[in-house]
């Protein structure tokens, strides 16, 4: 494991003591770390043992294996048609950005410049001007917006691209959550009015919420970012925020920005309105990345490995034959194949693992590690009773179901797993929410890894102060978002940090 997280050694021995029971003697499978015992080591271990990623010689770059791409593609299958319905068009802009273009928007470049990777050579020769690799594409795309948009009939211009981006960060790379190269979609749109732009920001945010809650079974909070945390160069930023109870960290799940007219001004993106007046466009940009997958793993994974929500698992049901001595193996195998076929015909993603060089026990552990939502075991007794044994990955529940209504029952079970994974995650997340009204309460809650909801005066300086005062080994606390769904804020409520009159409720915490 070159690169990546290398937690302190003290942690390691500690974790080993706590977790030795995790690895199964008979199969050699399993995890050496536990989620509660040593989350920092458990996470990379579950990703590599679950065959989602592989570490690579370049720190912060990971190989995304088929198990990951399956999840990513299923998410795309949901999201891409949704945005196409919104008349957002696919396109592809170059990976390479010239320095001049990158520099165009001052705040923007200040935000990204420290993270840029530069191509300085081609073959053996030095480039006259180094060329940047896109950290995001605002500055690549907007000169073209300027070129393509002339009249109000060219609006709205709504584009999306699926691509890789590169941010050469040095702080602790974490697979999916913070990697130097990642995959994402980035949407970029231009509108004639702010109202139209505002509406789209929220429509996209709702898609992100659905992606997390309905597909990844991860509860999120929709809200608005503080001035300090908003997108560099934008007007305002909305986000869906998830929470990882084990580490007590918030994680920005996806963002939908209203850029206002700032970029339009810098890139001269104007149009002639219906009254033939020259006007500047209103712009949005929005993105979700492979980070979504990391959040899902962190929320649902357990000491046996990954736990995948059925909707994003490329294998929803794994069928395993359990041949006892003297049993008619052929018949069992053909029952397995028939079961797979029945399920596949119903649109369920089912596969059989009929390898003979592995024992059923090994296979159970293997597919549990990979997080397949439902396992079906078929042995001689099941065959005799015309039934199959099902085992749920999320709660271990074992139920025998008759072959006759196999399809229907499995469908129901998958739906139930999806819903109950969300419910469990939500319950855990909700249990972490703590309302704090004073600084002391805040500090206490922070030390207990809570997701803090506090009345706030909404002043940039105050957030900076909170950051400075909570700065420690595990990072400073900051605002996550001000939820759209605001609890009552009785008049006279004071800001937990400044003591000034509070303007809103805001979520705070340490974050990824």
Binding residues (CB under 8 A) for another protein: these are 54, 56-58, 61-66, 68-70, 72-73, 89-98, 100-101, 104, 113-124, 128-131, 133, 140, 142-144, 146-147, 150-151, 153-154, 159, 163-164, 166, 168-170, 180-181, 183, 267-268, 272, 355, 357
Give 360 or 483: the residue with its C-beta nearer to another protein. 360
Give 119 or 431: the residue with its C-beta nearer to another protein. 119
Task: Report helix, strand or coil for 366.
Answer: helix
d(CA 297, CA 231): 26
The CB-of-144 to another protein minimum distance in angstroms stands at 6
89: tokens are 């068009």
Give 113 or 346: the residue with its C-beta nearer to another protein. 113
d(CA 395, CA 2): 34
The CB-of-134 to another protein minimum distance in angstroms stands at 11
Give 50 or 250: the residue with its C-beta nearer to another protein. 50
The CB-of-258 to another protein minimum distance in angstroms stands at 21
The CB-of-225 to another protein minimum distance in angstroms stands at 24
273: tokens are 């309105």
295: left (phi over 0), alpha (psi -120 to 50) or beta: alpha
CA of residue 18 relative to chain centroid, distance: 29
The CB-of-121 to another protein minimum distance in angstroms stands at 4
Give 71 or 296: the residue with its C-beta nearer to another protein. 71
d(CA 231, CA 111): 8
- Residue partners of 48: CB distance under 8 A and separation at least 6: 1, 54, 55
Residue matched to tokens 């296979």: 363
Residue 143's nearest CA partner among 190, 86, 110, 204 is: 190
Phi, psi of 338 (to 5 degrees): -65, -40
Phi, psi of 445 (to 5 degrees): -65, -40
Exposure letters 222-242 (e unless 16+ CB within 10 A, then b): bbbbbeebbbbbbbbbbbbbb
The CB-of-304 to another protein minimum distance in angstroms stands at 23
Give 56 or 236: the residue with its C-beta nearer to another protein. 56
Give 13 or 120: the residue with its C-beta nearer to another protein. 120
Give 13 or 171: the residue with its C-beta nearer to another protein. 171
- Residue partners of 356: CB distance under 8 A and separation at least 6: none
The CB-of-447 to another protein minimum distance in angstroms stands at 32
d(CA 200, CA 464): 31
CB atoms within 10 A of CB 483: 17
The CB-of-95 to another protein minimum distance in angstroms stands at 5
Give 151 or 487: the residue with its C-beta nearer to another protein. 151
The CB-of-390 to another protein minimum distance in angstroms stands at 26
Residue 237's nearest CA partner among 219, 249, 253 is: 253
CA of residue 500 relative to chain centroid, distance: 36
């Amino acid at each position: 494991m070159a690169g990546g997280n290398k937690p302190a050694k003290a942690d390691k021995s500690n974790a080993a003591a706590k977790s030795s029971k995790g690895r199964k003697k008979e199969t050699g499978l399993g995890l050496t770390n536990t989620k509660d015992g040593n989350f920092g080591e458990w996470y990379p271990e579950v990703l590599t043992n679950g065959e989602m990623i592989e570490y690579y010689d370049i720190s912060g770059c990971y190989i995304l294996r088929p198990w990951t791409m399956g999840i990513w593609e299923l998410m795309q299958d949901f999201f891409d048609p949704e945005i196409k319905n919104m008349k957002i068009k696919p396109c592809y802009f170059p990976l390479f950005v010239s320095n001049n273009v990158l520099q165009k928007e001052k705040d923007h470049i200040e935000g990204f410049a420290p993270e840029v990777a530069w191509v300085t050579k081609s073959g053996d020769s030095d480039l006259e001007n180094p060329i940047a690799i896109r950290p995001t594409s605002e500055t690549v795309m907007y000169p073209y917006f300027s070129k393509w948009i002339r009249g109000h009939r060219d609006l709205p211009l709504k584009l999306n691209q699926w691509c890789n981006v590169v941010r050469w960060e040095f702080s602790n790379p974490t697979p999916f959550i913070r990697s130097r190269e990642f995959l994402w979609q980035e949407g970029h749109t231009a509108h004639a009015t702010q109202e139209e732009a505002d509406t789209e920001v929220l429509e996209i945010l709702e898609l992100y919420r659905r992606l997390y809650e309905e597909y990844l079974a991860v509860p999120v909070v929709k809200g608005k970012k503080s001035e300090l945390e908003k997108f560099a160069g934008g007007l305002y930023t909305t986000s869906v925020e998830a929470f990882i109870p084990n580490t007590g960290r918030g994680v920005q799940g996806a963002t939908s920005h209203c850029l206002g007219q700032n970029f339009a001004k810098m890139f001269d993106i104007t149009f002639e309105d219906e009254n033939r007046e020259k006007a500047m466009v209103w712009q949005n940009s929005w993105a979700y990345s492979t980070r979504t997958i990391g959040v899902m793993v962190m929320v649902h994974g357990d000491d046996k490995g990954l736990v995948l929500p059925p909707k994003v698992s490329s294998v929803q049901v794994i069928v395993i034959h359990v041949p006892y001595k003297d049993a008619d193996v052929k018949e069992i195998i053909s029952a397995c194949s028939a079961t797979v076929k029945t399920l596949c015909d119903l649109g369920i993603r089912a596969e059989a693992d009929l390898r003979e060089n592995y024992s059923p026990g090994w296979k159970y552990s293997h597919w549990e590690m990979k997080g397949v939502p439902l396992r079906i075991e078929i042995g001689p007794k099941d065959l005799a009773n015309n039934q199959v044994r099902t085992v749920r990955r999320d709660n271990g529940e074992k139920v025998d179901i008759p072959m006759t209504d196999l399809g229907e029952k499995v469908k129901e079970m998958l739906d139930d797993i999806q819903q109950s994974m969300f419910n469990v995650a939500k319950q855990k997340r909700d249990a972490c929410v703590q309302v704090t009204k004073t600084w002391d309460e805040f500090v206490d809650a922070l030390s207990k890894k809570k997701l803090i909801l506090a009345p706030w005066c909404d002043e940039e300086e105050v957030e900076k102060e909170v950051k400075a005062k909570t700065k420690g080994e595990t990072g400073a606390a900051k605002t996550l978002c001000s939820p759209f769904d605001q609890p009552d804020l009785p008049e006279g409520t004071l800001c937990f940090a400044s003591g000034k009159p509070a303007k809103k409720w805001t979520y705070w915490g340490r974050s990824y």
